[in-house]
Amino acid sequence: MVVYLDNNASTRPLVSVVEAMGPFFRAEYANPSSPHRLGQRVRYEVECAREKVAQLVNAASGEIIFTSGGTESINLAVRGALGAQPVKRHLITSAVEHSSVRRLVERLAREGYRVDEVAVDHEGRLDLAMLEDRITEDTALVSVIHANNETGVLTDARRVCEIAARHGVQVHLDTVQSVGKVPIDVKELPVDLLSLSAHKLHGPKGVGALYVRKRTRLTPVTFGGRQERDLRPGTENVPAIVGFGVAAAEAMHLRPEVIGSIRRLRDAFEARVLAAIPIAHVIGGGAERVCNTSNIGFERLQAEAILILLSERGICASAGAACSSGSLEPSHVLKAMGVNPRIAHGAIRFSLSRFTTADEIDRTIDVLREVIERLSTAVG
């Protein structure tokens, strides 16, 4: 029995997504920019998918730009916003961003931009007073993660947007891990830019989107054709875009009771682990989180050893972010939260989905208890 609890890394595509993509590998293979009938049929399906993705965040379809995924969406949002305001050279982000933001702002700092990282508290919540204090007349953009990919802790997006708006500063939210898990309505939330990724909500890999609020100016970061409002040139990945549209429509109609069920399963999992394993500590559990994410640190143990033994028994989890796995150091997220290194070194991320069952949680707890007992005995 394989139990997949690594849904923050990637989710299982829905059957309806895979089925919808099939024709665009076979009969409907034309270029959507072509003027003939076959090309325009494909164009129609791309625009239908755009409408579905837009509806997921209550945007207009013309505000959605398709990209290759969350990373490209983030790069286009940040570089595009800065490029449209060349006089301003200041960017604010947080200490717990995904690597796609962290590595980008490191590069921007080398290019002469001034970057401020806003701290978080011990639960991973953004220091909003510090955010407002860091904004200056030179600030071009505030870019923060909405739901942290390691802990699931949610940023108070409304407060961030309100603070930035008081100073006339644009806001980009990385909503890759939150879209489809918490309601996002851009008509209610005064955000300028949102990055999304299909494979985090049961869609295909290799496709994402950037929401660009009407009248928000961006400069392109790649050049070529005239696709995607001149902001993302290149022939569209039609099968993946169609699949993204189906996944977005399914996520939009996901019943609140399903989200509640995932949350209850996650909460029960944490409670049982804490009861069964005295050295277990839930990280970020005191903050508001997305429904599916649990980061648990096992004191005095190493995450890599835990993951190897879990994998051998068919349990798939991860140590923090998948793109930083292999490191023996605690992640920058846990360091920023001030997590005790004795706990942070043994931090494991378990992320559920709508497909996770109670039987799978039972199996995981049984295996996890055995693994932790074995490793605890080995370290004395």
Over residues 69-92, the pLDDT tens digits come to 999 999 999 999 999 999 999 999
Report, as an integer, the average pLDDT of 342-347.
96
Note down the domain range covering 63: 15-252
pLDDT of residue 320: 64
**Domain identity same for 320 and 294:** yes
**Domain identity same for 201 and 317:** no
Helices and strands, counts by H and E, the chain = 12, 12
Catalytic residue of the set 161, 291, 316, 323: 323
pLDDT of residue 234: 96
Over residues 84-115, the pLDDT tens digits come to 999 999 999 999 999 999 999 999 999 999 99
CB-CB contact of 250 with 16 (8 Å) = yes
Paired strand residues for 170: 141
Q: Of 74, 107, 150, whose CA–CA distance to 331 is shortest?
A: 150
**Domain identity same for 123 and 248:** yes
Is the per-residue pLDDT at 324 higher than 60? no
Report, as an integer, the average pLDDT of 313-323.
82
Check if 323 is active-site: yes
**Domain identity same for 185 and 269:** no
pLDDT of residue 322: 53
**Domain identity same for 197 and 329:** no
CA atoms of 186 and 289, how far apart (whole Å): 20
Q: How far is CA 40 from CA 16, 229, 264, in A?
A: 23, 17, 46
Mean pLDDT, the chain, as a whole number? 96
**Domain identity same for 65 and 158:** yes
Q: Of 84, 32, 58, whose CA–CA distance to 231 is shortest?
A: 84
Report, as an integer, the average pLDDT of 318-346.
83
**Domain identity same for 115 and 263:** no
**Domain identity same for 223 and 78:** yes
Over residues 141-180, the pLDDT tens digits come to 999 999 999 999 999 999 999 999 999 999 999 999 999 9
**Domain identity same for 270 and 161:** no
Q: What are phi and psi of 298, to 5 degrees?
A: -110, 110
Q: At what angle do helices 37-56 and 238-252 cross, to 10 degrees?
A: 30
Over residues 184-222, the pLDDT tens digits come to 999 999 999 999 999 999 999 999 999 999 999 999 999
Q: Which helix (H) or strand (E) holds 144?
A: strand 139-145
**Domain identity same for 228 and 300:** no
CA atoms of 110 and 352, how far apart (whole Å): 38
pLDDT of residue 1: 87
Q: Which of 252, 267, 285 represents a domain boundary (last residue)?
A: 252
Q: How many domains does the chain have?
A: 2
Six token digits for residue 125:
């919540």
**Domain identity same for 209 and 287:** no
